[in-house]
Amino acid sequence: MPAPRKKIPGPPPAPESKEPRGILSTWMRLAFREAETVRGNTLPNPAVGAVLVRNGKVIGRGGTRPAGQAHAEIVALEGARVAPNGGLDRIRGATLYVTLEPCSHFGRTAPCARALIEAGVAKVVAACPDPNPKVSGKGFAMLRRAGITVEIAPPGSPARVRAETFYAGFFFWVANGRPRIIVKIAQSLDGRINARAGEETALTGEEARLFTHGLRAHADAVLVGGATVRIDDPDLTPRLTGGRPAQILVLTRGRKLDLKRQVYSRNRGAKTVVISPEIPQNLPKWVDHVALRRKKPLVRELLAVFAARGYHEVLVEGGRAVWSPFLNAGLCDALHLVTAPMLLPQGEPWGKDLRPAWVKPLEFHRFTPLGSDILAEFRRRSAAS
Ligand code: AOF
Ligand code: ZN
């Protein structure tokens, strides 16, 4: 039953989006594809995709350029302007499909909303509002004031849900001033991470691997310790799920890298960054280095590295020396604990270095079977976030 109409203060409610129910419209899907292609290259800005449509045809499209350069909307407008048969006449009356609210502020670039108004765009369909307080709601208001029809995908609609997943890290980063930190741990039924200390032990199966690759594709950076690199030699790219690889951060005390490890090999499409007190003697040209000063607690220093690199979401994959400081500091926003059906009484417990209070900020969310393994998801208690 429709709710009785009453006047509410604040900005006008979003008009019901014409986005088809149950599916993403073709245009919005294309916009997300544009956003996907630039993901990882725009930090600290969110990766936005925009598609300009006129008479059922795409006349311009694009994704956010690296920070300081053009936003997605501007790239799409430019494309339409310079296309064969392009020009302002074609843009006038067009509809823009965009994955995030067009900005209204002068930041490193001029407001996209103004550029859209000046180009004569008739309608803007956006997947979600921008949570950035400088923009939130103001971009839409600016467009509406200029007579542009604005449709915002309503909460729960496919476009909105897609945006909320895609921008989960960005939303968290705006609200909390630090990246969302996700910890993933694989354990045996008796809470061990290996059969014996220092041994590589395959614990979880293919489905759990697929799940982990999904986490990697979504994160901006994957953090691992030097021991994990040495013992397990992980590849750390989302090769099973596809998608853009996150940056790989290797936290180590070592002064010499074992360059045979996969994370150091060249041309993998993933950037590797070594974080250590001293520059390793054999640091390859294609690997970055960040010096640890060891003046502050490790997690504080790492948070500064995350901030400098503009990450919105970081996946902590282990091992114990890496996840324990985050868990002990209460700096874990989602914990994915994957349990394999085996007992390894001689192995090392994953929680050996944890203080009892580590668990306080987290609450159980759900179990999900992953083949013969089981995933337990814990999330930050909402009041504490
Ligand atoms: C858009 N389109 O493609 C992106 C937007 O410093 P600036 O000028 O680059 O502005 C950065 C902010 O703009 C960023 O924090 C976010 O709120 C928004 N990002 N907006 O209209 C885009 N990337
Ligand atoms: Zn903008």
Shortest-distance atom of ligand 1 to CA 63: 3
Residue 62: nearest ligand to its CA?
1
* Residue 132 pLDDT level (bands cut at 50, 70, 90): very high
pTM for this model (two decimals): 0.89
Q: Can you list the alpha helix ranges (DSSP code H) found in 47-167?
A: 72-82, 88-91, 112-119, 138-145, 158-166
Residue 35: nearest ligand to its CA?
1
Residue to mutate, 71, 166, 170, ligand 1, most ligand atoms under 8 Å from C-beta: 71
User: Quick one: tokens of 144?
Assistant: 């509406």
Cβ neighbors of 13 (< 8 A, separation 6 or more) are none
Closest CA to 47 of 60, 59, 34, 58: 34
Q: What is the pLDDT of residues 27-42, one digit of tens each?
A: 999 999 999 999 999 9
Cβ neighbors of 258 (< 8 A, separation 6 or more) are 229, 230, 264
Residue 150, SS3 per DSSP = strand
Q: What is the pLDDT of residues 44-100, one digit of tens each?
A: 999 999 999 999 999 999 999 999 999 999 999 999 998 777 777 889 999 999 999
Query: Is 143's pLDDT higher than 70?
Result: yes
Let me know: does 124 contact 96? Beta carbons within 8 Å: yes
* Residue 353 pLDDT level (bands cut at 50, 70, 90): very high
Query: Which one of 19, 34, 73, 317 is the catalytic residue?
Result: 73
* Residue 172 pLDDT level (bands cut at 50, 70, 90): very high
* Strands 149-152 and 287-291, bridge-based pairing: unpaired
Cβ neighbors of 329 (< 8 A, separation 6 or more) are 297, 299
| Residues pairing with 367 in the sheet | 376
pLDDT at position 21 is 55
- Tokens 């995908």 belong to 153
Query: Is 14's pLDDT higher than 50?
Result: no
Residue 115: nearest ligand to its CA?
2
19 is catalytic: no
Let me know: does 137 contact 105? Beta carbons within 8 Å: no
The residues lining ligand 1, judged by C-beta closer than 6 Å to any ligand atom, are: 45-46, 48, 64, 67, 71-73, 100, 102-103, 107-109, 112, 130, 132, 135
Ligand 1: residue whose CA is nearest its atom 22: 71
Query: Is 328's pLDDT higher than 80?
Result: yes
The one-letter code for the residue type at 230 is R
Q: What proportion of the chain, given as a percentage, has pLDDT over 70? A: 93
319 prior amide bond cis, ω within 30: yes
Question: If you count DSSP H runs as helices and E runs as strands, how many of each does the chain have, helices first?
Answer: 11, 14
Across the chain, what does the average pLDDT equal? 91
Residue to mutate, 39, 41, 103, ligand 1, most ligand atoms under 8 Å from C-beta: 103
Q: 179 C-alpha to center of ligand 2: Å?
A: 22
Rounded CA Rg of the chain? 23
- To which H or E segment does residue 214 belong? helix 206-218
Strand arrangement of the beta sheet that strand 287-291 belongs to: 287-291, 272-276, 247-251, 221-225, 313-318, 180-188, 334-340, 373-380, 362-370
Say if residue 195 is exposed, middle or buried (CB neighbours under 10 Å; 0-12, 13-18, 19+).
Answer: middle
Mean predicted confidence (pLDDT) in 343-347: 97
Ligand 1: residue whose CA is nearest its atom 2: 71
Give Cα 354 distance to the centre of its chain.
27
Query: Is 4's pLDDT higher than 50?
Result: no
Query: CB 37: neighbour CB atoms within 10 A?
Result: 14
Q: How far apart (Å, rounded) are the C-alpha atoms in residues 163 and 48?
A: 10
Cβ neighbors of 85 (< 8 A, separation 6 or more) are none
* Residue 20 pLDDT level (bands cut at 50, 70, 90): low
Q: What is the pLDDT of residues 235-290, one digit of tens each?
A: 898 888 888 889 999 999 989 999 999 999 987 888 999 999 999 999 999 999 99
133 prior amide bond cis, ω within 30: no
pLDDT at position 270 is 87
Q: How far apart (Å, rounded) are the C-alpha atoms in residues 306 and 312?
A: 8
Residue to mutate, 99, 106, 130, 312, ligand 1, most ligand atoms under 8 Å from C-beta: 130
